Amino acid sequence: MTKPKLKLYLAAPRGFCAGVDRAIKIVEMAIEKWGAPVYVRHEIVHNKFVVDGLRDKGAVFVESLEDCPSDRPVIFSAHGVPKAVPAAAQARQMVFVDATCPLVSKVHIEAERHYQSGLQMVMIGHAGHPETVGTMGQLPDGEVLLVETADDVATLQVRDPERLAYITQTTLSVDDTAGIVAALKARFPTIVCPHKEDICYATTNRQAAVKAIAPQIDALLVIGAPNSSNSKRLVEVGRAAGCDYAQLVQRATDIDWRALDGVGTVGITAGASAPEVLVNEVIDAFHDRYDFETEIVETAQENVEFKVPRVLRAPA
């Protein structure tokens, strides 16, 4: 039987970013140094395949520090944690390793600096997301106000409209965030902006690559987890850039093949916490069903690398 013809556009960059790569390495090195089990507070990154793989190696994932025994090491996820968490670990004399992405830590430092200067913070982010919770938890209650949309800006109750700064979650839609920033600047003209864009390079690059392929494709598949903020943003960016059908899939088994009936071009990308092995799995699934050619659309090259904490590089 003749397979239907198809063209696949592979977005680049896609998949793992430096912060995710570092976080996974931290868990693996901790298991190697201290043996299993090693406890991880929250999923180290938002990807079931990655989490299951680390669990098989000896990682135990918990949602609270209280679920960790005091005599085993604990790792804090790449999304960051409120200040109270490492303080509680120290109080219990626990060995802990902070796997917070350095670009998230940069936002934490920025918030602290503004707070010390007497500014109240406005955070653009998603309520309940671990990164937002961790960033807001760097400062006392009431010092960080959360906005999720431009409409939220109109109802914002601030202490002093002349003494404000804003920060953002690192995994937001670049375009959506620009609209919220514009609303903030319109209402609070003196608001202090980040020294450098808070949305991380990996989020920005992956969204730019999707924008480049979206006008050329009939359908977009984003490989990523349903609780991955940056992956969900890629779906939204694809639709906004002209691709009406965009689907988030965790693995090849999640693809809705009936929805792809009759399409001639498909784009593939992956969120920053999705490994390339899952991209290859999806491509193999297309190989079983289609006669296709592949084109890589590269909009940026990445060579960022973050060191793991010194405690893991030192002998046990």
Please list the active-site residues: 131
Q: Running DSSP on this structure, what letter comes out for residue 69?
A: -
Instruction: Return d(Cα 145, Cα 14) in angstroms, integer.
Output: 32
- Rg of the chain over Cα atoms, rounded to whole angstroms, equals 21
Is residue 198 exposed (0-12), middle (13-18) or buried (19+ Cβ within 10 Å)? buried
Contact indicator for 271, 203 with CB cutoff of 8 Å: no
- The strand pairing partners of 11, in sequence order, are 297
Q: Supply 166's token pair.
A: 């804003």
Residue by residue, DSSP assigns 221-274 as EEES-TT-HHHHHHHHHHHHTT-SEEEEESSGGG--GGGGTT-SEEEEEE-TTS
